[in-house]
């Protein structure tokens, strides 16, 4: 039960509020994963993932059907993380729209954005509010199309209720909606269902930085084959500086390419923790018979091997020599790091797929995984992580649907010396001075998060080096003081005595 704090009593001191919050937070169930209130949740909402996916589609514009705050929140996070201009429209639902339905707002919003941006694709994402009042966006979008005013523009309704999951489900659902929409339009053209002879593969990659996408593209190219990245944020959200400004990204997967998705030899979905009903790869397999490979994010040597083996199997090719060399270099780097890895007591938090990938790298390099935490809920996350922990004979706290209050508590209790996750962990870093590597989304207090490479053999090695260097810095920092205190324990400090102290 959530108790109500009377604000005018004045008896509610800061301490009492804290005690009350703890009581609400913990509940009696003794189940760490069960909370009925969250403080600073460890996730973003579904439309955030939807907006992210649409940013990787060429000439696409997003409109968020809900109150203005939802699109502001998403724009603010994306602009700060990518340091790129991020335009997202809002149907700007107010009291009237909330009570009588938001159809009018959404229709006007779509007309305005088409006039301003002239997009080829419009993704209409819903929010908590639009879903709660029960707005039927399928019908509203159908009515918009039937006016004939927007012929030639693909307007796609995508349900993404903020409370329906995390940004991960929103991301995968949006990809699935795009594929479904373009596949549906495609089958209406006679003769087009024939599988193409051109060998290419679909790659759906979650939680990747722009540099990660470029790296996986490079790995695929080493096989001498082609891939469609759905979506492709590599240049769209990390564009080079030019003298002209486009309101919409000219990079990303085009709608013509989205129509070709159903002719691929296979689909590799990297990030395999969402439920089957959210998986675009399984949808393509069930509907069009395109073989689905659902794999973990290629972070660490074992996970990257899974991707390379899948590519080799699909195209019936051997592992390219260049990749063999990179794999060997990663192994060499693992040997270099191993004498320092054992000093790592690591906490990983953020999106579940990324947490899983990083946890695998931590475990395979002999660090102690103390905490793996995500704001999402996934049976697969817990099962796969437990099995990995068993494999490496380790035990770690696994938290789902969690928040940064609980994460902080576990980090303090377990003596974690390195945190890895998005910028939301910075409050723990500030308050408790626990070392911190920022990865994932959002990273808004550092620059360059979109250019970090964590995936593939090369990315894993770079990331492992970064982790090891943090552990080495911890060892070197204060080393002389620690030695002095150990061998001359009676002295308070080895600092030279000041003149005024000596005089006393
Ligand atoms: S959680 Fe709901 S209200 Fe909040 S930003 Fe997301 S969609 Fe909007």
Ligand 1 near 162 CB (within 6 A): yes
Would you say residue 53 has pLDDT above 70?
yes
Neighbouring C-alpha atoms within 13 Å toward the C-beta of 285: 14
Evaluate whether 247 touches 115 at the Cβ level (below 8 Å).
no
Ligand 1: distance of its center to the CA of 209 in Å?
A: 24
Q: Which of 242, 361, 341 is nearest to 301 (CA)?
A: 361
Residue 191, pLDDT score: 44
Would you say residue 395 has pLDDT above 70?
yes
Ligand 1 near 93 CB (within 6 A): no
Distance CA 391, CA 363 (A): 9
Q: Is 302 exposed, middle or buried (0-12, 13-18, 19+ CB in 10 A)?
A: middle
How high is the mean pLDDT of the chain?
Answer: 90
Q: Is the dihedral of CA 452, 457, 462, 463 positive or negative?
A: positive
Distance CA 18, CA 22 (A): 6
Ligand 1 near 333 CB (within 6 A): no
Reported as a pLDDT band with limits 50, 70 and 90, residue 300 is very high
Q: Which atom of ligand 1 sits closest to the CA of residue 67?
A: 8
Give the residue, out of 102, 128, 133, 170, with the most ligand 1 atoms within 8 A of its beta carbon, to mutate for a pocket test: 128
Reported as a pLDDT band with limits 50, 70 and 90, residue 8 is very low
Evaluate whether 156 touches 177 at the Cβ level (below 8 Å).
yes
Ligand 1: distance of its center to the CA of 44 in Å?
A: 9
Distance CA 361, CA 439 (A): 14
Reported as a pLDDT band with limits 50, 70 and 90, residue 10 is very low
Evaluate whether 404 touches 42 at the Cβ level (below 8 Å).
yes
- Tens digits of residue pLDDT in 245-273: 888 988 999 999 999 999 999 999 999 99
How many other C-beta atoms lie within 10 A of the C-beta of residue 259?
Answer: 17
Residue 371, SS3?
A: strand
* Size of the chain in residues: 504
Ligand 1: distance of its center to the CA of 99 in Å?
A: 18
Distance CA 64, CA 128 (A): 11
How many other C-beta atoms lie within 10 A of the C-beta of residue 398?
Answer: 20
Ligand 1 near 346 CB (within 6 A): no
Ligand 1 near 127 CB (within 6 A): yes
b/e string for 261-280 if b means 16 or more Cβ within 10 A? bbbbbbbbbbbbbbeeebbb
Residue 2, pLDDT score: 40
Would you say residue 415 has pLDDT above 50?
yes
Q: Which atom of ligand 1 sits closest to the CA of residue 161?
A: 7
Residue 380, SS3?
A: helix
User: In angstroms, how far is CA 393 from the centroid of its own chain?
Assistant: 28
Evaluate whether 56 touches 248 at the Cβ level (below 8 Å).
no
Would you say residue 484 has pLDDT above 70?
yes
Evaluate whether 185 touches 256 at the Cβ level (below 8 Å).
no
Ligand 1: distance of its center to the CA of 127 in Å?
A: 6
Ligand 1: distance of its center to the CA of 107 in Å?
A: 21
Ligand 1: distance of its center to the CA of 489 in Å?
A: 56
Ligand 1: distance of its center to the CA of 100 in Å?
A: 20
Cα Rg of the chain, angstroms = 25
- Tens digits of residue pLDDT in 156-214: 999 999 999 999 999 999 999 999 999 986 654 444 445 556 689 999 999 999 999 99
How many other C-beta atoms lie within 10 A of the C-beta of residue 90?
Answer: 23
SS3 string, 159-178, reads: CCCHHHCEHHHHHHHHHHHH
Residue 234, pLDDT score: 95
Ligand 1 near 216 CB (within 6 A): no
- Tens digits of residue pLDDT in 347-356: 999 999 999 9
Q: Give the closest residue (by CA) to ligand 1 atom 6.
A: 162
Ligand 1 near 70 CB (within 6 A): yes
Q: Please, which residues bridge with residue 263 across strands?
A: none
Residue 420, SS3?
A: strand
Residue 489, pLDDT score: 76
Would you say residue 45 has pLDDT above 90?
yes
Residue 490, pLDDT score: 67
DSSP annotation string for 363-430: HHTT-EEEEEE-SS--HHHHHHHHHHHHHTT---EEE-S-BHHHHHHHHHHHT--EEEE-GGGHHHHH
Ligand 1: distance of its center to the CA of 169 in Å?
A: 14
Distance CA 49, CA 177 (A): 13
Evaluate whether 255 touches 122 at the Cβ level (below 8 Å).
no
Q: Give the closest residue (by CA) to ligand 1 atom 8.
A: 70
And the tokens for 497?
């005595």
Helix (H) or strand (E) holding 202: strand 200-205
Least confident of 1-5, 273-277, 396-400: 1-5
Evaluate whether 428 touches 419 at the Cβ level (below 8 Å).
yes
Ligand 1 near 73 CB (within 6 A): yes
Evaluate whether 359 touches 382 at the Cβ level (below 8 Å).
no
Would you say residue 28 has pLDDT above 80?
no
And the tokens for 58?
């060429």
Residue 426, pLDDT score: 96
Distance CA 376, CA 309 (A): 29
Q: Which atom of ligand 1 sits closest to the CA of residue 48?
A: 6
Higher-scoring residue by pLDDT: 387, 17 = 387
Ligand 1: distance of its center to the CA of 491 in Å?
A: 57
Give the residue, out of 41, 43, 66, 126, with the most ligand 1 atoms within 8 A of its beta carbon, to mutate for a pocket test: 66
- Tens digits of residue pLDDT in 428-472: 999 999 999 999 999 999 999 999 999 999 999 999 999 999 999
Would you say residue 221 has pLDDT above 60?
yes
Ligand 1 near 213 CB (within 6 A): no
Q: Please, which residues bridge with residue 335 across strands?
A: none
Residue 88, SS3?
A: coil
Reported as a pLDDT band with limits 50, 70 and 90, residue 492 is low
Least confident of 149-153, 187-191, 295-299: 187-191
Ligand 1 near 66 CB (within 6 A): yes
Evaluate whether 62 touches 155 at the Cβ level (below 8 Å).
no
Average pLDDT, integer, range 48-67? 97
And the tokens for 127?
């929010």
Residues with Cβ within 8 Å of 442's Cβ and at least 6 positions away in sequence, in order, are 44, 77, 78, 80, 81, 422, 423, 424
Ligand 1: distance of its center to the CA of 64 in Å?
A: 10
Ligand 1: distance of its center to the CA of 231 in Å?
A: 23
Evaluate whether 84 touches 156 at the Cβ level (below 8 Å).
no
Distance CA 383, CA 397 (A): 13
Residue 69, pLDDT score: 94
Ligand 1: distance of its center to the CA of 162 in Å?
A: 5
Ligand 1 near 47 CB (within 6 A): yes
Evaluate whether 411 touches 396 at the Cβ level (below 8 Å).
no
Give the residue, out of 38, 44, 45, 166, with the most ligand 1 atoms within 8 A of its beta carbon, to mutate for a pocket test: 45
Q: Give the closest residue (by CA) to ligand 1 atom 3.
A: 128
How far apart, in Å, do the first and last CA atoms of the chain sit? 62
């Amino acid at each position: 039960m959530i108790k109500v704090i009377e604000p005018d009593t004045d008896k509610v001191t800061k301490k009492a509020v804290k005690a009350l919050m703890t009581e609400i937070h913990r509940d009696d169930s003794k189940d760490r994963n069960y909370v009925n209130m969250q403080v600073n949740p460890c996730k973003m909402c579904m439309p955030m993932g939807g907006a992210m996916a649409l940013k990787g589609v060429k000439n696409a514009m997003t409109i968020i059907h809900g109150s203005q705050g939802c699109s502001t929140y998403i724009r603010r996070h994306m602009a700060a993380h990518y340091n790129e201009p991020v335009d997202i429209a809002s149907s700007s639902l107010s009291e009237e729209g909330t009570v009588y339905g938001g159809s009018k707002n959404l229709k006007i919003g779509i007309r305005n954005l088409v006039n301003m941006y002239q997009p080829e694709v419009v993704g209409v994402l819903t929010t908590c509010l639009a879903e709660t009042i029960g707005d039927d966006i399928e019908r509203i979008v159908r009515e918009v199309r039937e006016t004939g005013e927007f012929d030639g523009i693909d307007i796609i309704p995508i349900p993404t209720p903020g409370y329906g999951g995390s940004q991960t489900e929103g991301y995968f659902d949006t990809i699935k909606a795009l594929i479904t929409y373009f596949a549906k339009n495609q089958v209406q053209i006679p003769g087009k269902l024939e599988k193409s002879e051109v060998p290419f593969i679909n790659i759906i990659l979650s939680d990747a930085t722009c540099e990660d996408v470029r790296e996986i593209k490079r790995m695929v190219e080493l096989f001498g084959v082609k891939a469609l990245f759905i979506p492709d944020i590599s240049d769209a959200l990390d564009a080079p500086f030019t003298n002209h400004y486009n309101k919409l990204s000219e990079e990303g997967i085009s709608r013509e390419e989205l129509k070709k998705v159903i002719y691929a030899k296979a689909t590799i979905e990297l990030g395999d923790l969402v439920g089957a009903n959210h998986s675009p790869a399984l949808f393509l397999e069930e509907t069009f018979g395109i073989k689905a490979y659902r794999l973990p994010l290629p972070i660490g040597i074992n996970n990257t091997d899974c991707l390379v083996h899948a590519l080799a199997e699909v195209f019936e090719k051997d592992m390219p020599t260049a990749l063999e060399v990179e794999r060997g270099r990663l192994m060499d780097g693992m040997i270099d790091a191993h004498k320092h890895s054992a000093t790592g007591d690591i906490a990983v938090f953020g999106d579940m797929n990324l947490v899983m990938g990083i946890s695998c790298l931590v475990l395979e390099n002999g660090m102690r995984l103390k905490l793996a935490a995500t704001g999402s809920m996934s049976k697969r996350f817990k099962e796969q992580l437990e099995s990995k922990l068993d494999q490496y004979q380790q035990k770690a706290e696994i938290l789902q649907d969690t928040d940064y209050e609980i994460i902080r508590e576990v980090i303090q209790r377990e003596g974690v010396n390195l945190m890895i996750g998005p910028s939301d962990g910075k409050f723990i870093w500030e308050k408790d001075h626990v070392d911190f590597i920022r990865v994932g989304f959002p990273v808004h207090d550092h620059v360059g998060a979109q250019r970090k490479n964590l995936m593939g053999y090369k990315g894993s090695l770079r990331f492992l080096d970064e982790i090891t260097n943090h552990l080495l810095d911890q060892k070197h920092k204060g080393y002389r003081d620690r030695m002095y205190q150990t061998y001359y324990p009676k002295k308070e400090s080895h600092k030279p005595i000041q003149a005024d102290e000596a005089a006393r």
